[in-house]
């Protein structure tokens, strides 16, 4: 062990030679000693501290010592471990919370592989963003010569996971998974399909079988409504009303309902009509476009004629026909009997 001040003092030949030898001895032994050198300390000077057992280096400010490693070398394996000579391997370290060995993390020149060889345990890649920031993986194909080749997966600081593409020049959503909530599918950065607490929601037309307008299912809806039965000339003022339900699939509307024990006002006038439908029917000059099944109680009508129902411009209207093929309006007077019961079910087409 030797320490010196780093300065050779003036003196006789033998004295100078002795001083030089002392300086060399201090250098060759890294100024070893149980206490730090008392004088001559400079930045980046080494000191083998035999008291703590560490090799130390003087910091750049020359006001403190920085421990490097133990003098006996027992901690070198945990500081830097370079083993093996196989090309394209990633150097790893041992110790708590570190990757153990090369076999679990490898790179063969094109594929970075993370592997957990323990049965029943997951292989995990963990990416963490700073406070208020995202965690993301950006993937670029085809040498990044086109923005459409660029994809981004990120967990956002506000919650949720996004898959985005940069074809438009900036990253736009393709899939968004909200935190403990919906999953949205996007087209051109506009949400088109969403899962939610009640099921799923298609936010546009749904085409089945082919990508053509003829294969398009525009809407599906179901609900309840109050249907009305009255005379076409003043149906808004005088009518009977009952409960009804409807289901709309595309342009087809299915309705069914009843009126129980009501009486049509004596002032009702004109052709009998089922109206106040949930969707306006499509009227064609040649009629048709409706299938209707109606049952009655306490309705007086001409038994020599056949009663039926067709789509009108504002509802489903009643007609009567004879065996000779002529037909006439079915007058609402037949429905003015006290305590009238009517049950009906119908299918008709809407314009949209």
The tens digit of pLDDT for each residue in 152-180 reads 999 998 779 999 999 999 999 999 998 77
Least Cα distance to 268 among 241, 236, 295 occurs for 236
Cβ–Cβ < 8 Å for 95, 112? no
As a whole number, mean pLDDT of residues 80-92 equals: 54
d(Cα 9, Cα 64) in Å, to the nearest integer? 27
Look at residue 108 and tell me whether its pLDDT is greater than 80. Answer: no
305: CB partners within 8 A, 6+ apart = 320, 321, 322
DSSP 8-class letter at 35? S
Q: Which residue has the higher pLDDT, 104 or 248?
A: 248
Token representation of residue 186: 């996007």
93: CB partners within 8 A, 6+ apart = 78, 80, 81, 99
As a whole number, mean pLDDT of residues 229-250 equals: 95
Look at residue 115 and tell me whether its pLDDT is greater than 90. Answer: no
d(Cα 94, Cα 67) in Å, to the nearest integer? 20
The tens digit of pLDDT for each residue in 38-66 reads 888 889 888 889 999 999 999 999 999 99
Token representation of residue 75: 């901690």
The pLDDT, as a whole number, for residue 257 is 95
Token representation of residue 242: 């009952």
For strands 316-321 and 220-231, give the pairing.
Answer: unpaired
Cα torsion for 209, 213, 214, 219, to the nearest 10°? 80
Token representation of residue 171: 């990253």
The tens digit of pLDDT for each residue in 178-193 reads 877 789 999 999 999 9
What is the residue whose two structure tokens read 């968004």?
Answer: 176
Cβ–Cβ < 8 Å for 274, 346? yes
Dihedral sign, CA of 263, 269, 273, 276?
negative
d(Cα 123, Cα 135) in Å, to the nearest integer? 18
């Amino acid at each position: 062990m030797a320490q010196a001040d780093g300065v050779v003092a003036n003196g006789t030949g033998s004295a100078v030679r002795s001083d030089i030898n002392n300086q060399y001895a201090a250098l060759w032994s890294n100024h070893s000693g149980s206490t730090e050198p008392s004088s001559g300390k400079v930045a980046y000077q080494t000191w083998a501290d035999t008291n703590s057992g560490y090799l130390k280096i003087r910091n750049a400010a020359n006001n403190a010592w920085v421990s490097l490693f133990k003098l006996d070398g027992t901690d070198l394996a945990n500081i830097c471990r370079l083993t093996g000579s196989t090309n394209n391997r990633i150097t790893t370290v041992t110790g708590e919370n570190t990757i153990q060995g090369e076999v679990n993390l490898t790179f063969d020149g094109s594929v970075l592989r993370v592997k957990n060889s323990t049965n029943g345990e997951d292989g995990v890649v963990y990416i963490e963003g700073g406070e208020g920031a995202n965690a993301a993986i950006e993937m670029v194909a085809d040498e990044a010569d086109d923005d459409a080749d660029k994809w981004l997966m990120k967990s956002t600081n506000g919650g949720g996971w996004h898959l985005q593409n940069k074809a438009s020049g900036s990253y736009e959503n393709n899939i968004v998974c909200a935190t403990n909530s919906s999953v949205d599918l996007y087209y051109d950065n506009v949400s088109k399909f969403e899962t939610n607490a009640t099921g799923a929601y298609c936010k546009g037309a749904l085409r089945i079988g082919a990508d053509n307008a003829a294969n398009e299912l525009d809407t599906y809806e179901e609900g309840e409504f109050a249907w009305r039965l009255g005379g076409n000339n003043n149906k808004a003022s005088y009518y009977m009303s009952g409960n009804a339900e409807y289901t709309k699939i595309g342009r087809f509307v299915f309705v069914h309902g009843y009126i129980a024990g009501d009486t049509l006002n004596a002032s009702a006038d004109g052709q009998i009509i089922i109206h106040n439908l949930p969707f306006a029917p499509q009227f064609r000059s040649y009629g048709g476009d409706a299938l209707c099944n109606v049952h009655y109680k306490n309705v007086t009508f001409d038994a020599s004629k056949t009663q039926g129902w067709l789509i009108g411009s504002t509802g489903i209207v009643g007609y009567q026909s004879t065996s000779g093929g002529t037909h006439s309006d079915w007058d609402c007077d037949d429905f003015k009997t006290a305590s009238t019961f009517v049950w009906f079910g119908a299918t008709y087409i809407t314009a949209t």
